[in-house]
Chains A and B, each alone.
Chain A
Amino acid sequence: MNIVRSILVRRETGIAVMIVLLCLAVGLYKPQFLTLNQLRVILLLVPLIMIVAMGQMLVLVARHVDLSVGSMLGLSAMLAGMMFRDMPYIPWPVGFVVAIGAGALLGLLNGALVTVFKLPAIIVTLGTLNLYRGLTFIVSDARQVDRQFVPSALKSMSQTSPIFGIPWIIFMALGIVLLAWWFTRHTIVGRQIFALGSNPSAAELRGVKVNQITLLVFTISGALSGLAGIMYASRWGFVNPSNTGAGFEFQVIAAVVIGGVSINGGVGTVPGVMLGVLLLGCVAAALPLLGIPGTAQGAIYGAIILVALLIDRSVRQQGIASLKMVRA
């Protein structure tokens, strides 16, 4: 009974129920939504958001926010794509190193600005969001990296599959999720991020190296954005200086917040974020089937962020109320 209860009150259960209800509702209206083929569509929509969301989750748990993920994705994808175009003799897997490395450096810069100058992350990353996007135009000379330059081996990662017809990039996203789960649950550093987010001053007194952890979460967020960048090149086969990753930050923040990560820091689980991303993917896949134009997506992401905030608030208040009951 207790186990059932504890499963029922978990945040993840709520999101899972929402996913099931959404799928059933759409499926009743349009039966083709509940087919394996549609599952494939949903799964192909989510890997990029999934990977970046894991980094964003760590940043939010540490009481910061990273608005620059979309621009970091774009810039690192562009650097890798230009390497493919201008230096075709370099083996293509090096592109992963370039993109992840570039992303990590950009994220490190965000983290350094936040820690060294004690600036709020929201303003720093609003600045770097534009700075990195501008840099993408500058390094690329405002030219797109076209399809023929992206190695076909890389592109096929989004199409061919090792098993069950599930493409490689989905397995990669799954790998990152497992890694993130292990990192947040079973490493000292991972737990320290939560300690820092719950109570920064207490964490510092407890011996948590606040600056190093802050640098780390921003660097991870950058590196994962870089990985998502090279996967963007794989998935879509081109890199465009203005489109690639633009507006991505809002989708990611929507997914992470609906996944139960508290904006006040210290709270968040990897399964929750994973379900949040899947929910977003289901919504995105359901829209065209329901005949809702793609132009409605932005409004829906915005509404999702606000609804998630409201849920977060009521959950927090219940938590406080139950604490008071225990004390009484």
Chain B
Amino acid sequence: MSTTGAPTTPAAAMHEAAPARPVWHVALVRPETMTLVLLIVAIIVASYLSPYFLDIGYILRSFTLSAEFALVALVLTMVIIAGEIDLSPASNMALSACLFAWAQASGIPMPIAIAIGLLAGLAMGALNAFMVIALQLPSIIVTIGTLTLYRGLAQIIAGDKSIRVPDWFIGIDKVMVLGIPVPVVIFIVAALVLGLILAGTIFGRQIYQIGTNEVAARYAGIRTRRIKLTLFLLIGLVSAVAGMMTASRLGSVRYDLGLGGELQMVLMAMLGGTYIFGGRGTILGTFLAAWLLVVVSTGMTVANLLPAIQLTVLGVLLIVAIIATNFIYSRTQR
């Protein structure tokens, strides 16, 4: 609310929640602090369970398994801050990867096949945006519909078979840059760029304004529709990229690629302290939450827990995270 008037630097934006309080106090009640503390606790517990955990290479390799979801979760954070939600990215990943794999399997040259996949992602984002922005339908229900639709279309294209991708395309997670797997590098770079955009540009601050009070934002001259359109297109495009990263990691594409991924994406955003009703949240929080989630699920794998139990833990985490975030925000009303 108070972010518009005075020229805001990123640092000022961080502090404006409670200007009268000391800095350490403000930092302490931020939800990102909760995420960071949880992350440290999780690392300590996990390294207690298995000595492999202190091996940074092991954690990085584990992160490649979730890097695609984490990448989308960064953009999803911005969408949620703008007061909307998108549950369809996981299905979008599947459909764009299926289209890409189907195109290259039927003899279309690789660059064009990749372009087809990316355009498909954009188109899916555009359809969501059209229903939500132009037709004024609630994004929750719209994206439940498109979640089903996109996954269903992927199933029509791929059937029950898996489509192979060419050998040279396989293994993006095995390629290292400075000892870090490429998917992790992409995630970190994306987090830096999006974090700077969200916290340090006019565009980013306008996203917060829309989420806090859309009507007021419109009266203040913010192009709310254009910004939301940008966000939906961006999440569509990034989902397509994530879909192809998954295809490269798995070596083949099936219609159930990324099935249930929407839970992990929403969970990362919620764990990172994004406020479900919009207007609050940071990329830093989601960034930390992605690592937290990787440490937790890798820890559970190391501890030999069944995938089903992991599912239960993720479900509980989601509910606990949203309760905790809401609690923190209710204590720090601006």
Contacts of A263 in B (CB 8 A): 137-138, 141
Pick the residue among B137, B309, B318 that contacts A137 (CB under 8 A).
B309
The CA of A257 and the CA of B142, in the complex, are separated in Å by 11
A166-174, A204-212, A289-297 - interface stretch:
A289-297
Q: Does A117 sit at the interface, judged by CB under 8 A?
A: yes
Contacts of A123 in B (CB 8 A): 266, 270, 276, 318-319, 322
Q: Does B10 sit at the interface, judged by CB under 8 A?
A: no
- CB-CB under 8 A for A126 and B266, given A118-B326, A263-B141: yes
Give chain A nearest CB distance to B96 CB in angstroms: 15
* A296, closest chain B residue (CB): B156
The CA of A48 and the CA of B78, in the complex, are separated in Å by 39
Pick the residue among A65, A131, A299 that contacts B315 (CB under 8 A).
A131
Pick the residue among A119, A133, A298 that contacts B311 (CB under 8 A).
A133
B153 contacts A299, C-beta separation under 8 Å: yes
A299 contacts B156, C-beta separation under 8 Å: yes
Contacts of B85 in A (CB 8 A): 122
Pick the residue among A124, A250, A295, A298 that contacts B319 (CB under 8 A).
A124
The CA of A244 and the CA of B104, in the complex, are separated in Å by 36
Q: Does B152 sit at the interface, judged by CB under 8 A?
A: yes
A128 contacts B315, C-beta separation under 8 Å: yes
Contacts of B14 in A (CB 8 A): none
Q: Does B310 sit at the interface, judged by CB under 8 A?
A: yes
A181-189, A225-233, A274-282, A304-312 - interface stretch:
A304-312
* A134, closest chain B residue (CB): B312
B159 contacts A126, C-beta separation under 8 Å: no
A306 contacts B131, C-beta separation under 8 Å: yes
* B321, closest chain A residue (CB): A127
Q: Does A178 sit at the interface, judged by CB under 8 A?
A: no
* A130, closest chain B residue (CB): B315
Q: Does A300 sit at the interface, judged by CB under 8 A?
A: yes
* A306, closest chain B residue (CB): B145
- CB-CB under 8 A for A302 and B148, given A127-B316, A127-B318, A131-B315: yes
A window 34-76: CB within 8 A of B: 65, 67
The CA of A18 and the CA of B229, in the complex, are separated in Å by 34
B309 contacts A138, C-beta separation under 8 Å: yes
Q: Does A319 sit at the interface, judged by CB under 8 A?
A: no
B159 contacts A120, C-beta separation under 8 Å: no
The CA of A250 and the CA of B137, in the complex, are separated in Å by 18
A130 contacts B311, C-beta separation under 8 Å: yes
Contacts of A124 in B (CB 8 A): 319, 322
Q: Does B140 sit at the interface, judged by CB under 8 A?
A: yes
Give chain A nearest CB distance to B268 CB in angstroms: 13
Q: Which of A134, A136, A300: most chain B Cβ within 10 A?
A: A134
Pick the residue among B152, B262, B309, B326 that contacts A301 (CB under 8 A).
B152
Contacts of A137 in B (CB 8 A): 306, 308-309, 311-312
A130 contacts B151, C-beta separation under 8 Å: no
B window 60-93: CB within 8 A of A: 85, 87
Q: Does B197 sit at the interface, judged by CB under 8 A?
A: no
The CA of A119 and the CA of B277, in the complex, are separated in Å by 10
Pick the residue among A65, A126, A129, A297 that contacts B152 (CB under 8 A).
A297
Contacts of B148 in A (CB 8 A): 250, 254, 298-299, 301-302, 305
B260 contacts A130, C-beta separation under 8 Å: yes
Secondary structure of the B contact surface, majority rule? helix
- CB-CB under 8 A for A313 and B135, given A128-B315, A131-B316: yes
The CA of A296 and the CA of B159, in the complex, are separated in Å by 9
Q: Does A77 sit at the interface, judged by CB under 8 A?
A: no
Contacts of A129 in B (CB 8 A): 263, 315
Q: Does B38 sit at the interface, judged by CB under 8 A?
A: no
Q: Does A142 sit at the interface, judged by CB under 8 A?
A: yes
> What 1/0 flags go to A126-156 for Cβ under 8 Å of B?
1111111111111000100000000000000
B311 contacts A299, C-beta separation under 8 Å: no
B308 contacts A142, C-beta separation under 8 Å: yes
The CA of A126 and the CA of B322, in the complex, are separated in Å by 12
B150 contacts A134, C-beta separation under 8 Å: no
* B155, closest chain A residue (CB): A295
Contacts of A126 in B (CB 8 A): 87, 262-263, 266, 318
Q: Does A213 sit at the interface, judged by CB under 8 A?
A: no
The CA of A136 and the CA of B141, in the complex, are separated in Å by 27
B window 7-55: CB within 8 A of A: none
B149 contacts A128, C-beta separation under 8 Å: no
The CA of A134 and the CA of B319, in the complex, are separated in Å by 15
* A242, closest chain B residue (CB): B308
Q: Does B160 sit at the interface, judged by CB under 8 A?
A: yes
B144 contacts A295, C-beta separation under 8 Å: no
B144 contacts A119, C-beta separation under 8 Å: no
Q: Does B147 sit at the interface, judged by CB under 8 A?
A: yes
Give chain B nearest CB distance to A177 CB in angstroms: 24
Q: Does A272 sit at the interface, judged by CB under 8 A?
A: no
Contacts of A142 in B (CB 8 A): 306, 308
Q: List 7 A-B contacts (CB under 8 A).
A: A65-B140, A119-B276, A130-B314, A131-B312, A296-B155, A302-B148, A306-B149
15 additional A-B residue pairs with CB within 8 Å, beyond A119-B319, A293-B156, A298-B148: A117-B323, A118-B326, A123-B270, A127-B263, A131-B312, A131-B316, A132-B315, A137-B312, A250-B147, A250-B148, A263-B138, A263-B141, A295-B152, A305-B149, A306-B146
Instruction: Please provide the 5 A-B residue pairs with the shortest distance between their CB atoms, ordered closest to farther.
Output: A302-B149, A299-B152, A137-B308, A298-B152, A131-B315
